[in-house]
Structure 1
Amino acid sequence: MKTVRQTNTLSRRTLLAGMGAFAVSACTDSSPTSGNATPEVRDIRLGVLKVTDTAPLFVAQREGIFAKYGLEPKFVEMELTGDQRPNLETGGQADVTFDSWVTIFLNIADGADWVVLGEAYQAAPRTTGLVTAQRSRLRSVTELVNQPIGVNNKAGLGVLMTNSLLRTNGMQPAQVRYVEKSFDSLADAVAGGEVSAAWMVEPYLTRSQLDKGCVLFADTAVGPTADFPQSGYACARSFARKNPNTVRAFQQALAEAQLRALDRSLVESVLPEYISVSKNVAQLMNMGSYPSTTLPIRPQRVADLMLEQQFMSSRIDVNSRMASVNPPS
């Protein structure tokens, strides 16, 4: 697998410009740390998953970016398998949570009064896809008819992207059978013949190839899902209203961290320590991008595709779900 490295050197002007764009797009003040009011909640609880998407959070922690904006976050590891239904209200599991847009929007559709704080990760070629066993006789997507496909969540991002791939190839989602397995067990399910293919994201995609001899059968970040917005951050609307300075500080810290993540070597350096990714996998895996601006039109693609595929019964207007806080006085 070819390793693609990004070694951008960011000027202070570029960094501040990106931070400003992020804050403006999220309807918050874009001023630097000087002049910003003190966060109401310094030890903000961040719900995280051990996936590549969250690497900038750990960059921010290690590089003192959170501290720069007055935050001392407490990381709360969330479950990686199945639906996430975290309680983000006062006294709940976390104050801010990371997850796939699919899971975030399903929570909102189920009545969670959440607002969007920022984008986390955007797919790129060969960062998500269906893998098969090396001995598999499958040669085209259309041969998946009546075949079991492993996914980590039957109502998740993997099914959404795989359904799109199937439709692009003239198939219907009902023509395959989804089997729910944890990401950690998907490679074994493929190697053992329990499923004919499995949907994976990095680092599981590369890990499955190195450890189990799996091969990438079909890229799911192509066509209608090319450059697909994969994940983001959200909090309860009540938290945003009660703690506007905290929300603003988190957004600014995230924007700076996402920009720092343009330097692939910096991302690679935190993956082994914080996300249990070996150095070898970190160097070989393909990576998507970390948007340093938050534009509603991007996650709206996900919400609209979810409606089209009947993940939801009504449309979610992402713009109306953007966190909006008053600028500091």
Structure 2
Amino acid sequence: MRGVAVALVAALVLVTGCDTGSGSNPAEPAVTPERGQLRVGVGNPIETTPLRLAVADGSFARAGLDVRLVEERDGQDALDGLTTGRLDVAFATDETLFTAVARGTALQLQGEAYTSAPYTVALVTLPDSRYTDLASKKAPKIAVSADGDLGTLAARSIFATAGGDPDRIKFVTRRYEDMPAALDDGTVDAALMVEPYLAKIQQDLGARVLADSFRGATLDFPVSAYASGALFAQANPRTLAVFRRVLADAQQRAADQSLVRAALPRIAGIDSTTASLVALGQYPTSLSGVRLQRVADLMHGMGMLDGRLDVSALLPHSAGS
């Protein structure tokens, strides 16, 4: 009888130990990571709010991961961090990541950070600008944060939808903080801005929205994601599985926008009034190859990628389609 009891206990341990379903508590490690520390690059504070909150509240620590956040200057800084080994996981726009892959950088996606909603990114002008109709300028000068990034794709898409020729847009790269000055001195006709800079320029300068960037082909559009180098992902599958699991839970909690807005004054360095005004998108709880393929296909259609990119090849084997 004692042998039967021992066998039953062993069977129960085996069954419960194999239960790694989505309903498990993220605070209880389902697997043992290969490493205890993960250096994760972060950028736009709104788009990375769930990750930042999960680090601050100890969610990653309880799952066995010491996540160290490293502030990135921009998407290229993030990719450089992965290449040099300064970062293990990096945040960037989907456009930045897909452009890097098309140029030969081996990456694996680890989570979607942010998906658009109306007026989360918009083309703006100052109140006294005579540029009031998107189609009225055949070759507008538009400020974007980086050439070939989200702003470039969004501006080309909305300009094409308005009946213009996106190839005639003259893009001028400026940091978001410097775009108001570029609008004021006439360097650009309009600026493609994201939150929280969008809410701030409207609040401070009365900026006018010339066009919402996420309509038509870009409605509910994927914006940004987290990625690691392919070799790092191959060597650390359990570590990254834990990262994805805790991130997914944090993204789910961020569906409560009040939690995000309450955190923005501390995370984004904006006042509570601006935090209450920013337009918020969605925080996906899973990697979707189908959803992300929209970005790659639109980039290809707009001439930003020479060939069609198969996004499913960039997903971890455990991720859904």
TM over 0.5: yes
Aligned partner of residue 193 in structure 1, secondary structure: coil
Tell me which moved more, 270-279 or 288-297. Answer: 270-279
Match of 1:46 among 33, 36, 40: 40
- The whole-number CA distance in structure 2 between the counterparts of 1:183 and 1:160 is 16
Partner of 1:85: 79
Counterparts of 1:64-213 in structure 2 under 5 Å?
A: 64-80=58-74, 85-89=79-83, 92-213=85-206
- The whole-number CA distance in structure 1 between the counterparts of 2:231 and 2:77 is 23
What letter matches 2:146 in structure 1?
N
Asked whether the equivalents of residues 83 and 156 of structure 1 are also in contact (C-alpha less than 8 Å), the reply is no
Aligned partner of residue 246 in structure 1, secondary structure: helix
- 1:236: Cα distance to partner? 1.0
In structure 2, relative to structure 1, the CA distance for the partners of 1:35 and 1:46 (3 Å cut) is closer
**Which structure has the larger Rg?**
2
Whether 1:61 and 2:55 are equivalent positions in the alignment is yes
Tell me which moved more, 249-258 or 43-52. Answer: 43-52
- The whole-number CA distance in structure 1 between the counterparts of 2:117 and 2:190 is 20
TM-score (norm 1): 0.85
Partner of 1:240: 233
Flag structure 2 segments of 5+ consecutive residues without an equivalent.
1-19
- 1:84: Cα distance to partner? 5.2
In structure 2, relative to structure 1, the CA distance for the partners of 1:252 and 1:146 (3 Å cut) is same
- 1:63: Cα distance to partner? 2.2
CA displacement, residues 58-103 of structure 1 (integer Å, 9 cap, x when unaligned): 11112222122211111111113777532425x5120001110000
Tell me which moved more, 272-281 or 169-178. Answer: 272-281
Asked whether the equivalents of residues 41 and 78 of structure 2 are also in contact (C-alpha less than 8 Å), the reply is no
Asked whether the equivalents of residues 116 and 235 of structure 1 are also in contact (C-alpha less than 8 Å), the reply is yes
What letter matches 2:66 in structure 1?
E
- 1:277: Cα distance to partner? 2.7
Match of 2:313 among 313, 316, 320: 320
Aligned partner of residue 118 in structure 1, secondary structure: strand
Match of 2:255 among 254, 262, 268: 262
Higher RCO (CA-CA < 8 Å; seq separation 6+): 1
Match of 2:208 among 215, 219, 226: 215
Whether 1:293 and 2:282 are equivalent positions in the alignment is no
Aligned partner of residue 86 in structure 1, secondary structure: helix
- 1:317: Cα distance to partner? 0.8
TM-score (norm 2): 0.88
- The whole-number CA distance in structure 2 between the counterparts of 1:145 and 1:93 is 43
- 1:157: Cα distance to partner? 0.6
- The whole-number CA distance in structure 2 between the counterparts of 1:239 and 1:264 is 33
| Total equivalences in the alignment | 298
Flag structure 1 segments of 5+ consecutive residues without an equivalent.
1-27
Aligned-pair identity in percent equals 37
In structure 2, relative to structure 1, the CA distance for the partners of 1:167 and 1:161 (3 Å cut) is same
Aligned partner of residue 39 in structure 1, secondary structure: coil
Partner of 2:10: none
Partner of 1:229: 222
